[in-house]
Amino acid sequence: MITGQTRVFGLIGHPVRHSLSPAMHNELFRRRKIDGVYAAFDVAPARAGGVAAAIRTLGLSGVNLTVPFKEAVMADLDGYSSSAAVAGAVNVVVVQNGELIGYNTDGVGYLRALKEELGADVSGRAVAILGAGGTARAIAAALAADGAVSVTFFNRTMARAESACSALGGAFPGVRFQSAPLAAGAFRLYSPSFDIVVNCTSGGAVETVAGFDVRGLRAGALWTDVNYWMPDPPQLVACAGRGVRIQRGIGMLVHQGAESFRLFTGVPVDGDTVRGVLDLGGW
């Protein structure tokens, strides 16, 4: 039962109506007997500058952030974790002693899922990341910290990819970061060198990524996609047909969601529990 004492959490982004986060967190609150409620707030991108103020004004206890607010909100926070600083983006904001503190759980969520589902050893691997936004940079940072030797960002806006390379290069001097246009020709040129491909692009880039030629990927390469909500992410079928191992985004959602719940409540929860919660909704 929701009362005047119930702590309110939520997801802020655009769009968010497809999100599994409300079902996941609300069921975890119920199971752990926590007096909390979690809702989805679809906020117009033009209102990004008011997100932090809204959290303060409404007395929210914490929020998850998705596109396009992961980067825009950082300037209005009172502090953020080292992982968020390296990624240049936050996907969790927790109110602590009246201050808004940002965290980024995308990288750890992706890495845990990669190891759990595919048993992948990141050390010494060359990685291609499609996209250069907050999620892409968080995943790149996690892979670099775990031993990846190179990361190539493919992005429609080269300046954004170059900025990601510059920021991460300073944090991980032993890793080679480079940028390339998100285009079929560029991917075909570089693809034989990649061990892991991570698609972090949004729906607007589906046709572009679908036009990539994956025949050049080496034997044993992995193709992963963070878009758990997309029914048919580009290239998964093509890669599976060529013997390239694939991974959908639900595992990343599970593990970053578990870490978000811990940050919100101080209560740890494992990935198997979160998977069971999502199964309750028929997902």
Angle between helices 21-31 and 250-265 (to 10 degrees): 50
Same domain, 178 and 91: no
pLDDT class of 104 with cuts at 50, 70, 90: very high
Q: 133 and 150: one domain? A: yes
Say yes or no: 190 and 87 in one domain: no
Note whether 112 and 209 are same-domain residues.
yes
Radius of gyration of the chain (CA): 19
Residues 192 and 230 in one domain: yes
The CATH number covering residue 93 comes to 3.40.50.10860
Mean pLDDT of 29-53: 96
Q: What is the pLDDT of residue 109?
A: 96
Please determine, for residue 150, whether its predicted confidence score (pLDDT) is greater than 60.
yes
92 belongs to a structural domain: yes
| 156 touches 181 (CB < 8 A) | yes
Same domain, 149 and 166: yes
How many separate domains does the chain show?
A: 2
Residues 229 and 152 in one domain: yes
In this model, does residue 281 exceed pLDDT 60?
no
Q: Is the pLDDT of residue 16 over 80?
A: yes
pLDDT (0 to 100) of residue 282? 44
Q: Residues 17-29: pLDDT tens digits?
A: 889 999 999 999 9
| Residue whose pair of structure tokens reads 């005047």 in the numeric block | 4
- Both 170 and 261 in a single domain? no
How many other CB atoms are found less than 10 A from the CB of residue 200? 27
The proportion of the chain whose per-residue pLDDT surpasses 90, expressed as a percent, equals 90
Give me the CATH number covering residue 131.
3.40.50.720
Note if 115 is an active site residue. Answer: no
List, for residues 54-80, the tens digit of each pLDDT value. Answer: 999 999 999 999 888 999 999 999 999
Q: Is 159 part of a structural domain of the chain? A: yes
pLDDT at 204: 85
- The model's pLDDT over 200-237, given as tens digits with 9 standing for 90+, comes to 998 789 999 999 999 999 888 999 999 988 888 999 99
In this prediction, residues 185-205 reach a mean pLDDT of 95
Query: Does 279 have pLDDT greater than 90?
Result: no
Percent of the chain topping pLDDT 70 = 99
List helix spans (H) across 32-179.
51-58, 82-87, 106-118, 134-145, 158-171
Q: Is the pLDDT of residue 116 over 60?
A: yes
Mean pLDDT of the chain: 94
Residue 135 and residue 168 share a domain: yes
Interatomic CA distance for residues 121 and 147, integer angstroms: 9
Angle at 141 between CA 136 and CA 145, to 5 degrees: 150
Domain span holding position 129: 107-248
> What span, in angstroms and rounded, lies between the C-alpha atoms of 276 and 259?
16
Instruction: Please pick, among 70, 137, 255, 275, the residue that the annotation labels catalytic.
Output: 70
Same domain flag for 99 and 111: no
